Amino acid sequence: MHDQASALRALASRENQKHSKMRVIAVTSGKGGVGKTNFTVNLALALAEYGQRIIILDGDLGLANVDIAFGLTARHTIAHLISGEKSIEQIILSGPRGIGIIPGGSGVQGLADLERDKLTNVLANLGRLEKMADMLIIDTGAGLGHTVMNFLQAADDIILVTTPEPTSLTDAYGLLKTLRKEAGEVPIHVVVNRVRTESDAQATFRRLETAVHKFLDGSVNFMGWVYDDPLVGRSVMQQEPVGISFPESPAYRCVQWIAGKVAGIYLRPPRQAGGVRGFLSKLLRSF
Ligand SMILES: Nc1ncnc2c1ncn2[C@@H]1O[C@H](COP(=O)(O)OP(=O)(O)OP(=O)(O)O)[C@@H](O)[C@H]1O
Ligand SMILES: [Mg+2]
């Protein structure tokens, strides 16, 4: 613990910025397969259109997703960063519109079991992200796993993706319940994916909100919805995000609208102990 604390202090003093400007946004869901990766990738593209510099951290422990969605192949992952074989600059993939992608893979779990002698190096590398981007968007895995929860607790904002399906909503509620206990102060924004109509989206959000008001403290913010759109599926097959293949598609239009709201988050004054440095210190404290 002592080593971690001193490494963090050293990192914090190395770059003497008082407030970090980079925001850390975690995209998550209760149930798997609801569209997190597609949403993350297209949100990054839309934010890049707004002039934001974006880095995506693929925080899914399973198969690499984000690189595939961009039609890229990760050669190195966070695991190489942890082992000291590669620097952050060497593992980041370059996507379209200047988007950087950090492939996580099995290395993400490694972040949780960092050996002390490796910690300083990893911290210094991740700390350099601050100079490279305005926002770090994390595509977490689904569910209530230990690593996912650590990412969520450490983020500045959480975007919770659900679909109107009852099972997806039930799992979203389950995740919210845990988040209220374990990450009480992190704002949660809900995106309803794969809706047929606006009223479908509104009704879905209301169902979730009613449960939250009835059984939990706190509130959730409705960030928007994305239409169920066959062009998304087509883009997945082509390994190209819908924001590139079909920028006029209904689904991408929705993501652009949501990106406008997310860009607004960036304009909000930073919380103290937020940003990438706050993220790292909270991440380490939770392990
Ligand atoms: N708005 C949409 N319209 C139509 N299909 C969609 C939409 N969003 C996602 N999909 C479909 O759902 C599938 C799963 O999406 P995605 O891989 O983004 O989910 P995920 O939540 O990241 O899954 P996992 O939990 O496995 O990581 C995609 O292959 C895509 O075809
Ligand atoms: Mg995914």
Whether 266 has a pLDDT exceeding 50, the answer reads yes
Whether 118 has a pLDDT exceeding 60, the answer reads yes
Spatial separation of the C-alpha atoms in residues 275 and 129, rounded to whole Å? 10
Which of 61, 192, 232 has the most ligand 1 atoms within 8 A of CB, as the residue to mutate?
232
- Percent of the chain scoring above 70 in pLDDT: 87
Instruction: Compare 185 and 112 and report the one with higher pLDDT.
Output: 185
Choose the weakest-confidence range: 16-20, 71-75, 176-180, 202-206.
Answer: 16-20
Q: Residue with the nearest Cα to atom 19 of ligand 1? A: 35
Q: Whole-prediction pTM value?
A: 0.90
H-only helix segments in the chain:
2-14, 36-49, 66-69, 78-83, 88-91, 107-112, 116-127, 129-132, 146-154, 166-182, 198-215, 230-238, 242-245, 250-267, 275-286
Q: How far is ligand 1, taken at its centre, from the CA of residue 250, in Å?
A: 15
| Mean pLDDT value across residues 10-19 | 50
Choose the weakest-confidence range: 47-51, 82-86, 203-207.
Answer: 82-86
Cα–Cα nearest to 156, from 43, 14, 268: 268
CATH class of the domain comprising 2-286: alpha beta
Q: How confident is the model at residue 147 (pLDDT cuts 50, 70, 90)?
A: confident
Cα–Cα nearest to 59, from 285, 238, 283, 286: 283
Give the nearest ligand 1 atom to 227 CA.
Answer: 1
Q: Find the helix packing angle between 275-286 and 116-127, rounded to 10°.
A: 160
Spatial separation of the C-alpha atoms in residues 261 and 226, rounded to whole Å? 14
Whether 3 has a pLDDT exceeding 70, the answer reads no
Q: Please report where in the chains the tokens 């996580």 appear, as a residue.
A: 104
**pLDDT tens profile 32-74:** 999 999 999 999 999 999 999 999 999 877 666 899 999 999 8
Q: Where are the domains of the chain?
A: 2-286
